[in-house]
């Protein structure tokens, strides 16, 4: 049974300013440095407490006689990197806690999430490539695959920052009308109101080869009505978002809209429940997180 904090609908209906406790998982890569800067922007706006965590992984290839020496060297390296990371960051007196620990990465992070009642995990991606595939990096991938609390992934290649002190300008929320996806809309609309941002609500129809332009128009009109029907009552006539329906590969279309609109943040919902060992919860979401030009907020309910 999972011991992580599970986000509920009532949690999502609270003000976004309830992001009081943010855990930043760092491996000292460029992506994790971008993640820390992003988390600091959130903390400055919402007066959050930052938990900066680095887990020194177990070294299975080290012989028993040299394991203690190797661990000490790893701790010295981690302490030096953590100090440099903090010196480069502008905490401006914000509450924060640095944690260095040794062991398996995910079980330790999972325990911190539970013990500290973490509202949001922020993690940087490495953006490795393997053939035609993009990879998150081992730490980010494990968090993305297993964490049940909201996750903000920030790539080193991100051209635009996520929620900062001066607010968001453009948010892209992609929905496939499934319960896990629609529930992520609570966060999207809450952030829209909190920041006065421009929200785009997008649905992508996986286009069939035999589809024609006429039938696309009918499908688009139907989907646009469905998107508007899902608009929260408080937004009707006040802060109505822009609705878009695209046709094609969902991952490609979501990334394309994010680039076209220079989105600051992409919001996605993931299915609840743990995926099988070695599997990812969503190939589409994984692709978006790897290749997005901006941070991506994912929720699993």
Residue 17 has what pLDDT? 44
Domain annotation covers residue 152: yes
Q: Which residues in 148-197 belong to E strands, given as ranges?
A: 151-155, 170-174
pLDDT tens digit at each of 301 positions of the chain: 444 444 343 444 444 446 789 999 888 877 778 888 888 888 877 788 888 888 876 655 555 555 667 777 777 888 888 888 777 776 655 556 666 666 677 888 888 899 889 999 999 876 554 444 555 666 777 788 788 888 998 876 565 554 554 567 899 999 988 887 777 888 888 888 777 889 999 999 987 645 566 688 888 999 999 998 877 655 555 567 899 999 999 999 999 999 999 999 999 988 765 443 333 347 888 888 888 889 999 987 6
- Give the β-pairing of 296-300 and 151-155: antiparallel
Decide: 142 and 172 in contact? Cβ < 8 Å.
Answer: no
CA angle 293, 261, 120 (to 5 degrees): 50
Q: How far is CA 26 from CA 86, 205, 215, 240, 259, in A?
A: 12, 37, 48, 37, 27
**How far apart, in whole angstroms, are the C-alpha atoms of residue 205 and residue 23?**
35
- Which among 104, 101, 102, 105 has a CA at the least distance from the CA of 121? 105
DSSP secondary structure letter of residue 18: G
Model pTM?
0.80
Residue 65 has what pLDDT? 54
- Give the β-pairing of 198-205 and 170-174: parallel
Domain annotation covers residue 132: yes
Domain annotation covers residue 62: yes
Domain annotation covers residue 2: no
Cβ partners under 8 Å of residue 18, min gap 6: 11, 119
Residue 11 has what pLDDT? 44
The two structure tokens encoding residue 153 = 């992934």
Domain annotation covers residue 53: yes
- Which among 17, 2, 39 has a CA at the least distance from the CA of 123? 39
- Which among 229, 165, 180, 179 has a CA at the least distance from the CA of 201? 229
Domain CATH number, residue 278? 3.40.50.12370
- Residue 251 belongs to what domain range? 9-300
Decide: 175 and 184 in contact? Cβ < 8 Å.
Answer: yes
Domain annotation covers residue 1: no
Domain annotation covers residue 4: no
Domain annotation covers residue 133: yes
Residue 136 dihedral angles phi and psi, to the nearest 5°? -75, -30
**How far apart, in whole angstroms, are the C-alpha atoms of residue 14 and residue 229?**
22
Decide: 301 and 182 in contact? Cβ < 8 Å.
Answer: no
Residue 209 has what pLDDT? 47
Number of structural domains found in the chain: 1
């Amino acid at each position: 049974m999972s011991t992580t904090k599970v986000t509920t609908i009532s949690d999502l209906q609270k003000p976004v300013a309830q992001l009081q406790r943010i855990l930043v998982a760092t491996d000292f890569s460029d992506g994790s440095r971008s993640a820390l800067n992003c988390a600091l922007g959130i903390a400055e706006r919402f007066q959050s407490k930052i938990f900066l965590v680095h887990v020194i992984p177990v070294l299975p290839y080290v012989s028993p006689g040299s394991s203690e020496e190797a661990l000490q060297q790893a701790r010295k390296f981690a302490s030096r990197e953590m100090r440099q990371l903090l010196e480069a960051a502008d905490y401006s007196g914000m509450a924060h806690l640095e944690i260095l620990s040794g062991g398996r990465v995910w079980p330790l992070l999972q325990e911190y999430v539970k013990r500290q009642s973490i509202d949001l995990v922020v993690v940087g991606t490495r953006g490795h490539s393997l053939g035609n595939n993009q990879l998150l990096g081992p730490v980010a991938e494990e968090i993305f695959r297993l964490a049940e609390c909201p996750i903000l992934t920030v790539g080193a290649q991100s051209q635009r920052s996520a929620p900062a002190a001066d607010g968001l300008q453009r948010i892209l929320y992609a929905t496939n009308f499934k319960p896990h996806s629609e529930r992520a809309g609570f966060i999207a609309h809450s952030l829209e109101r909190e920041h006065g941002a421009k929200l785009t609500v997008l649905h992508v129809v996986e286009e069939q080869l035999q589809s024609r332009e006429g039938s696309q128009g009918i499908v688009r009109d139907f989907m646009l009505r469905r998107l508007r029907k899902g608009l929260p009552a408080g937004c009707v006539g006040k802060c109505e978002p822009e609705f878009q329906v695209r046709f094609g590969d969902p991952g490609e279309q979501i990334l394309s809209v994010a680039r076209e609109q220079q989105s600051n943040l992409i919001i996605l919902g993931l299915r609840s429940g743990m995926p099988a060992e070695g599997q990812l919860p969503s190939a589409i979401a994984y692709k978006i997180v790897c290749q997005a030009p901006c941070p991506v907020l994912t929720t699993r309910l």
